[in-house]
Chain A
């Protein structure tokens, strides 16, 4: 039985699980400890950072790990032993999982280690190849980092239309900037509180929305609440340079989502 909390990187039907292992390491830019566990039982734990294998920190169920385990930093003369370990671990016909954790002793304050690309070259593995050995993906299944901005199609509705679309659960709101600048609805006490907040924090709100967007200025909507099912929640949205800030009463998340979808074609 494999431990919980692991991510599958190679299924039993994958023809080249070593390639999967190296790609997982190659994608790890931030310093991490990666524990690779085979469904057959063996496991290896590697400190990885910046597409380099820094050190082997643990081995389970594999012979010949001593030369690598004893090193503070992996060096060139250990690459053959390491490759043998990786091949012994990532055998076809077995599922391979990875568990990511904080980097351990020694940290990432080294500038050497073994480049993942070097091991890949020696094994004739193309780290960028997602061809025949990869399982079929459904269209849109890959977490693309950012949609092409030109491909975002809008319905022509405005941020004020979004507010209207949410319905009566949106008890107060105001907008700033763009074509809907200065619009508001709701009790003046609530609207003025939101207005005072935007007066002070407009730039910071834009910055926070940018951090949650694929690209600065992209349309984005954030809802924040204790539960989003009951009680009150905040809604903050940006579209075409207009920022909306509002208060939703009760379970308005579904209504907000429906209204948001109405903004996109």
Chain B
């Protein structure tokens, strides 16, 4: 299954996921995206920057010292939820998601992790 198809499957399985995007955090680029949300290139750039900021100091170092390197971040705002997931094996590979506040994170996070690892390993 290609990247676009993998992302599309996630959006189909979780209608409250408005945007699912595959990013290369090292080059700050969204490489593919899927979902009903209409976004511009600038919005995607901002989403990618938010992902990088989530995994940045000072809170990144606190997490590393306390529990280990974080691979998952959830950012909750006034009216949206953003989820950022870094690959366990290729940390620059990430999935960036914009979700409705009612998203079932307990169900969504494991599935998005499977999808990311599948993409990273060329599945």
Interface, chain A (partner B; CB < 8 A): 2-7, 24, 27-30, 32, 99-102, 137-138, 141-143, 145, 147, 152, 193, 197, 201, 204-205, 208, 211-214, 218-229, 231-234, 236-237, 247, 251, 253-254, 256-257, 260-261, 264
Contact = CB atoms under 8 A, between A and B. Distances in A.
A28 B41 contact: yes
A219 B78 contact: yes
Contacts of A205: 58-59
B10 interface: no
B106 A229 contact: yes
B45 A30 contact: yes
A99 B37 CA distance: 18
Task: Indicate the member of A27, A213, A228, A232 with the most B CB atoms within 10 Å.
Answer: A228
Contacts of B73: 222-225
Interface string B72-102: 1111111101000000000000000010011
Given A5-B3, A229-B109, 10 more contacts: A7-B32, A27-B41, A100-B41, A222-B59, A223-B76, A226-B72, A227-B71, A232-B67, A237-B76, A257-B74
Nearest to A7: B33
Nearest to B6: A4
A53 to B, nearest CB: 14
Contacts of B114: none
B41 A224 contact: no
Nearest to A264: B78
Task: Indicate the member of A193, A223, A260 with the most B CB atoms within 10 Å.
Answer: A223
The interface residues of chain A, by DSSP majority, are classed as mixed
B77 A261 contact: no
Contact of B53 (A6, A27, A208, A251): A208
Contact of B40 (A27, A99, A212, A222): A27
B60 interface: yes
Given A5-B31, A220-B75, A29 B59 contact: no
Interface in B36-71: 36-43, 45-46, 49-50, 53-60, 62-63, 66-71
A76 B61 CA distance: 51
B17 interface: no
A138 B36 contact: yes
A147 B80 CA distance: 10
Given A227-B109, A227-B113, A142 B38 contact: yes
B77 A234 contact: no
A234 B74 contact: no
A225 B70 contact: yes
B4 interface: yes
A256 B103 CA distance: 12
Contacts of A28: 41-42
